[in-house]
Amino acid sequence: MKKREIGKSGIYVSELGLGCMSFPDNLNEVKNIVNAAIHAGINFFDTADLYAGGRNESIVGEALKDRRDEIILATKVGNRMVPGEEGWRWDASKEYIKEAVKESLQRLGTDYIDLYQLHGGTMEDNVTGTIEAFEDLKKEGVIRQYGISSIRPNVIERFLTNSSAVSVMMQYSLLDRRPEEWFPKIREAGASVITRGTLAKGLLTDEGISRAEKMDGFVEYGAKDLKRTVGVLHETTNAVHAHAIAFNLKEDVVASALIGASSKDQLLDSIVAYEKSVDQSKLASMAQLTESHRYKQHRG
């Protein structure tokens, strides 16, 4: 599997990355998924302290503990869980980030994180303090690099402008092309995009038509337009899954396209799709069948 550099970080990740959020709560099953991923050449694993209340980090750490030197490990911070409270509260303070990383390291069973990401962001954040926290952790060797996971244009722009962040994680796919507007800005900043939602909740897999039938809409698509668009994409090719992955990776600003997997078989479907040769000219024609929406909020 090919690798790409995240920004100018010196960190090279597989073109397919594995988003760990949908892992089952069973260590043996997770080990099967992880081992199959590494065998296929995937070296990039992404989790977050929020997932399953920290349990996801723990199970990822356990599954990867004997293979730490083979992989690039990413996690996220900012959604603070308070004992005795339901849900979480947003906290991007310097103090919290520097405490939260210790807990993530413990759960992951490692002494460093390759890519530490702010898991959201608001314009009310003290961005100076947030960035100082990440820079301090870099100097201490606790993290190698940092980035942001956000879809808010004004938050992303402020964070990139004032920091040495190397990545922006954004929901991006043939059916959600809103981030395209910001690719030049991210490229200009010397950073890379990491795509999540690469398969658009399974709409860009072989199950896409049946999934679209059960959905009321997706992003800016209403239910009717979604069914029509997904149907047309499936009429265009019998390998929508492969084209969906290739579509994201045709952008040089994209370092890795994350795919989720709750089973080994699900993972293998995406690996087979990634390895399938696709007609690049067809990607352009498929893009013409979808809408290039824009973010309407958080602009300035």
Could you read off the pLDDT tens digit of each residue along the chain, which spans 300 residues? Answer: 999 999 999 999 999 999 999 999 999 999 999 999 999 999 999 998 877 777 889 999 999 998 999 999 999 998 777 777 677 777 889 999 999 999 999 999 999 999 999 988 888 889 999 999 999 999 999 999 999 998 888 899 999 999 999 999 999 999 999 999 999 999 999 999 999 999 999 999 999 999 999 999 999 999 999 999 999 999 999 999 999 999 999 999 999 999 999 999 999 999 999 999 998 888 999 999 999 888 877 766
Superfamily of segment(s) 3-201+242-278: NADP-dependent oxidoreductase domain (3.20.20.100)
CA of 147: how far to CAs of 143, 202, 261, in Å?
11, 26, 23
Domain ranges across the chain:
3-201+242-278
Contact 237, 184 (CB under 8 A): no
Round to whole Å and give the CA distance between 236 and 228: 12
What local confidence, expressed as pLDDT, does residue 119 receive? 85
* Catalytic residue numbers, as ranges: 51
Best CA proximity match to 125, nearest among 91, 157, 168: 91
Question: Rounded to an integer, what distance in angstroms lies between the CA atom of residue 202 and that of residue 105?
Answer: 32
From first CA to last CA, the distance across the chain in angstroms is 39
pLDDT at 300: 63
| 78 backbone dihedrals φ, ψ, rounded to 5° | 135, -25
One-letter amino acid at 63 equals A
